[in-house]
Every structure is written in structure tokens, then in C-alpha cells.
Amino acid sequence: MHMIKVFSSIESLCIEAMELFISLAEKNITANGRFTVAFAGGRTPNVLYTMLAKPKNANRVDWKNLFVFWGDERYVDFDNAENNSFQAKQHLLNHVPIPEENMFRIPVNGDYVADALAYQHIIREFFGTAIPSFDLIFLGMGDEAHTASIFPGSSLLLETDSIVKDIYVELKQMQRISFTPPLINAAKEIVFMVTGTEKAPALKEVLEGSYNPELYPAQIVKPVNGNISWLVDESAAGSLHSL
């Protein structure tokens, strides 16, 4: 299922994302005893995390049976403000009763090739399958249509074997580690959160343009058996014709 919902503000968008997160957590924990989620970094997810950390919201989640991973990471130290998992801890995870062993941060030990392989091993060992299926993956999208750390022209677009890969992002002059398309597309639920006028041209191409993931990498996200939801604010949706 493919769904696009437009919101008047980042706050209303994040309320929707939060309610989806809470309902999926309850559903999966009831059915399977656990809920697996991959977090995204960025401005809008941080608003969501801050909202979710409020006691009235956090108390609705069974944190001991929730397991958190990250879809990509800037290759900077754990305590660096640019580190996605650091941001998630600051905005949410340090404020809720999630066991430390339930958080699987992407390692940044100085050897990015080894760290990517280690994270791939951690995920496969946790799920016990070659291509794990997350209950929920949150994704963002950049103004050049990148998602996770899959940028225009990235070799990750052609990846078929690895589920996690190291990648140097020329545009950002930065080393990163990222989920690859096979892992993303195996998820049960994928939720994009896209806000801001600067995203409007790329969003139009991704959702309404010709299929060209080399230029618009977010188009590579096509769940095999799962659902995809686009939660976008009015600014980002401004160029869409189909709404």
C-alpha cells in the first residue's frame, strides 16, 4: 500500500508519525513479543522524538520489548552532535525506560568497512535471516532526493548482496554507513517524513516523475511485501499535482 498524507505543520505531521509508531509497537509486541524499528536522523525526526519522550506519550509504549536500530549514520563519534544515534538519545532514548541492550547503534570505531560489516552481522544475527524485515523503518529525504545515505549516483543503488554498507558521500565530503535498498525494501512498514519548501522539487520528481533512481534515489524505496507512507507538510507538497 502506498499512501501520501499532507499536514499543515511539522507538529501535526509528527503527531501522525508518533501515533503510527505507538500503534505498530502495540500491535507487533502483542503479536510477536517485540517491535523492531530503524530510526532516521534529521530535523523532523528529532521533533518526533522530543514529542514521543513526553511522559504522556512515552507511557503508552512497552519500551522493554522495543528494539531500536538506525538506517544510516554519519561516520562521526558517538558523542558528536551530528551523530544520528546521539541525537535520538538526546531527544528520546535517554528519557524513556528502554534497556541499553535494546539499542543497536551503528559502530564508529575508526574502520568504517569493518564497522559496516559488523552492523550487518548484528542485524542478521538479531533477526536470524539473510534479509531481515523490520517492523518499521523511518526515512527522511534530502532536497536532492537522497534517503538514508543513498545519494544521487550512489553505488548503493546497485547493491544486491550487502544489507549494510559503508559509503563515501562526495556531495557531503563525508564517510557514512547505510542500510541498502534490499534491507529497506524488506520492511513491513516504511514511513517517509518530508518537510520544507526546499524539498518540494525533489518530492515532485520522486512521486510523480519518471523512474530514475540514479537522479532521485528515494524512488528506489519500493517495499517487497510491506507498506509505504509519505507524511509531508504543505511546503514540501507544494509542487505535487496528484493531491
* Span 134-190, pLDDT tens digits: 999 999 999 999 999 999 999 999 999 999 999 999 999 999 999 999 999 999 999
Q: Torsion over CA of 188, 63, 43 and 78, rounded to 10 degrees?
A: -110
Phi, psi at 14, each rounded to 5° = -70, -30
**What's the average model confidence in pLDDT over 8-37?**
98
- Flag whether pLDDT at 59 surpasses 80: yes
- Flag whether pLDDT at 130 surpasses 90: no
**Cell numbers 518530492 label which residue?**
203
* Longest distance between any two alpha carbons in the chain, whole Å: 46
pLDDT at residue 129, as a whole number: 86
Whole-angstrom CA distances from 237 to 9, 17, 134, 232 are: 12, 17, 27, 6
Q: Where are the domains of the chain?
A: 2-55+62-140+182-196+224-233
Architecture of domain 2-55+62-140+182-196+224-233: 3-Layer(aba) Sandwich (3.40)
Cell of 31: 503479536
d(CA 132, CA 162): 12
Percentage above 70 pLDDT, the chain:
99
pTM score:
0.97
- Dihedral of alpha carbons 98, 232, 229, 166, sign: negative
pLDDT at residue 243, as a whole number: 61
d(CA 165, CA 156): 8
**Cell numbers 532536497 label which residue?**
143
